Amino acid sequence: MVGTILLFFLSMIMIGPVVNKYYHYFPRPKFMQTAVVTGANRGLGLEWVEQLLSQGYKVYAGYRSDKGELANMDNDNLVVIQLDVKSNESVKQFAGKIGENIDLLINNAGVGDGRWQNLNEIDDEQSLDVIDINALGPVRVVQALYQNMNHDSLTKVAMISSLMGSIDDCQSGRSYAYRASKTALNMFTVAMKNEALKDNISFAIVHPGWVRTGMGGSNAPLEMKESVAGMMEVLQTQTLENTGRFVQYDGKILPW
């Protein structure tokens, strides 16, 4: 009996990844968690993919137009799919290709706004574009993947925000559109958290710290590895009870 059970689990471990690569509908062994990462071709998104794979997750990675490093990663647990979070059509097509429950969604894709422009340089079209991608993009992804997240076990959603979206913390000003986009993302998330409670979905609004990436620049003090490892730890403590918290990579709770 014990031998049969052992044999069953061994065969699931060996066959599962191979079949998963080709047939996304194959029922996975229960102990394998599935994650989705947006904006996964570079920067923090790519680091998320690498760390999640190394922890044994199956990962669906979204890229906007250039696969970047994702193209060179040979891993049976990685599925790479085009995703522009600004486009409803693209988000729906992306979601349509994920035929299984997901346990973790990392809403990471985002853009900057040129940072330190003056008040008279605020460009309405550019600002709407930044808000569309940073605030509405993650909402579109949550809507499209809701059915995949609504299941018996807990699903964790990380909305990658920024301390720059904190109204309390906004001393230096400027960076108008980026700040406003992240503040809006925070409010969308807090406003949706109650509806999602009954469906076992918990949201963390996470600030990665100031990190050396294309967006963060070379003067940033934090390395991607440390930031993402910290955010992973934060997510381990994510529950239905603390849904909607605004927290940074090292677990510190941030002011709104």
**Residue owning tokens 């992804």:** 141
Of the candidates 249, 200, 199, 202, the residue with the CA atom closest to the CA atom of residue 225? 249
- Total binding residues for ligand NAP by CB under 6 A? 30
**Residue owning tokens 């340089």:** 121
Binding status of residue 65 toward ligand NAP by CB under 6 A: yes
**Neighbour-count burial of 20, counting CB atoms closer than 10 A to its CB (0-12 exposed, 13-18 middle, 19+ buried):** buried
Please pick, from the candidates 211, 228, 234, 254, the single residue that binds ligand NAP as defined by CB under 6 A. Answer: 211
Please pick, from the candidates 43, 94, 102, 201, the single residue that binds ligand NAP as defined by CB under 6 A. Answer: 43
Q: Which stretch binds ligand NAP (CB under 6 A): 78-86, 141-149, 192-200, 247-255?
A: 78-86
> What does the alpha-carbon distance between residue 126 and residue 25 come to, in Å, rounded to a whole number?
40
**Please, which residues bridge with residue 105 across strands?**
36, 157
Enumerate residues 107-166 that contact ligand NAP by CB under 6 A.
108-111, 133, 160, 162
Q: What would the x/- binding string for ligand NAP be over residues 213 to 232, using CB under 6 A?
A: xxxx---x------------
Query: For the chain, what is the radius of gyration of the CA atoms?
Result: 19
Which DSSP category does 220 fall into? -
Binding status of residue 39 toward ligand NAP by CB under 6 A: yes
> What does the alpha-carbon distance between residue 129 and residue 46 come to, in Å, rounded to a whole number?
23
Q: Which stretch binds ligand NAP (CB under 6 A): 28-36, 115-123, 212-220, 228-236?
A: 212-220
Please pick, from the candidates 84, 183, 203, 245, the single residue that binds ligand NAP as defined by CB under 6 A. Answer: 84
Residues forming contacts to ligand NAP in the complex (CB under 6 A) are 38-39, 41-45, 64-66, 83-86, 108-111, 133, 160, 162, 207-208, 210-211, 213-216, 220
